[in-house]
Amino acid sequence: MGSPTSQVELQPAYILHNHAYAESSVLLDVFTRDFGRVSLIAKGAKRPRSSFRGILQAFQPLLISWRGKGQVHTLVHAEIDSSLNTLPAKTMMSAFYLNELVMRLCHQGEAMDTVFSRYGDSILALSNPDVAIEAILRSFEKVLISELGYQLVLHNDAESGEVIQSQNYYRYVPDKGPVQVSSDSVQGLVITGESLLALQSDSYDNPRCLKDIKRLMRFVLTPLLGHKPLRSRELYRALQRN
């Protein structure tokens, strides 16, 4: 016997990515509250009279229903959950970056409700053109890394156990944590104790610390993401050159 047909009703969700499927349909990568990432086919979504037209937009909070079995299900209903202003051009690329992180690091069918909640808060914050973008991104990365099981060590020296001191320099060693810089320490990324403590307390007001934190997050995320470059990062660099 095959796997039973499942049906899910009015699940909070966001569209992460979509592309054309067959003549009139769309294949969706969707991030949901209770089911994590799911793949859905929106049949006939490109037809002029489709009930899906104008609704299946990235970053828009949705309530969706689907049914089916296997890896790809059929979308049967979608409605807007709450209104969201169109993202400003200056924050759009950052929102795409969040989508790419979720697509690359969150497994299909694995609920990550804490990440889902922080994702929604982040998208809402990015709808404000005056938001501190870097702080939003670093906060989301911190939650995502933690929920993936890679808890950052930020308050104690990983070797001595001593409390991190803001005036000291540390090397952040993968799978270990921060170790105070000494003449014989060569591994890891050098970062100030002040920056580690700022990340621990989600304090992103100091530009110098924020720059340090960005370097640390990229250092930690790189082995998780693998060798394939992030498309959103490449697009951002291209826009900066132009």
> Which pLDDT tens digit goes with each residue over 124-162?
999 998 999 999 999 999 999 999 998 899 999 999 999
Maximum CA pair distance of the chain? 69
Euclidean distance between CA atoms 104 and 98, whole angstroms: 10
The mean per-residue pLDDT over the stretch 45-59 comes to 92
Sheet holding 189-192, edge to edge: 177-180, 169-173, 189-192
Of 18-32, 100-114, 123-137, 171-185, which range is least confident? 171-185
- Specify the higher pLDDT residue, 167 or 82: 167
| Assigned token pair, 239 | 């826009």
Q: Which domains does the chain have, with CATH numbers?
A: 8-80 (2.40.50.140)
- E strand or H helix that includes residue 149: none
Tokens of 15: 């569209």
Task: Compute the average pLDDT of residues 17-34.
Answer: 94
Given pLDDT bands bounded at 50, 70 and 90, which one contains residue 236? low
Q: What residues contact 124, with CB distance under 8 A and at least 6 apart?
A: 84
Output the average pLDDT for the chain.
Answer: 91
Residue 85 pLDDT: 78
Assigned token pair, 230: 């992030």
pLDDT at position 226: 86
Residue 117's pLDDT band, with cuts at 50, 70 and 90, is very high
Residues 6-12 have a mean pLDDT of 94
Mean pLDDT of 20-46: 95
- Candidates 113, 185, 180, 114; CA nearest to 153 is 180
**First-last CA distance in the chain:** 57
β-strands 62-68, 6-21 pairing: antiparallel
pLDDT tens digits, 204-230: 999 999 999 999 999 999 999 988 888
Name 2's Cβ contacts closer than 8 Å, sequence gap at least 6: 69
Question: In DSSP terms, which residues pair with 67 in a beta bridge?
Answer: 7, 74
Pairing of strands 72-80, 36-42: parallel
pLDDT at position 184: 63
- Copy the structure tokens of residue 110: 């694995």
Over residues 53-58, the mean pLDDT reads 92
Contact between 105 and 144 (Cβ < 8 Å): yes
Beta-strand pair 25-32/62-68: unpaired
CA distance 31 to 28: 10
pLDDT band at 242 (very low <50, low <70, confident <90, very high): low
Average pLDDT over residues 111-126: 96
Which residues face 68 on adjacent strands? 6
240 burial type by CB count under 10 A (0-12 exposed, 13-18 middle, 19+ buried): exposed
pLDDT of residue 229: 80
- Could you tell me what percent of the chain has a pLDDT over 70? 93
> Which two tokens mark 111?
């609920």
Which pLDDT score, from 0 to 100, does residue 1 have? 43
The model scores a pTM over 0.85? yes
Residue 2 has pLDDT above 50, yes or no: no
Residues 157-196 pLDDT 10s: 999 999 999 999 999 998 899 999 975 666 789 999 999 9
- Report the alpha-carbon distance of residue 106 to residue 118 in Å, rounded: 14
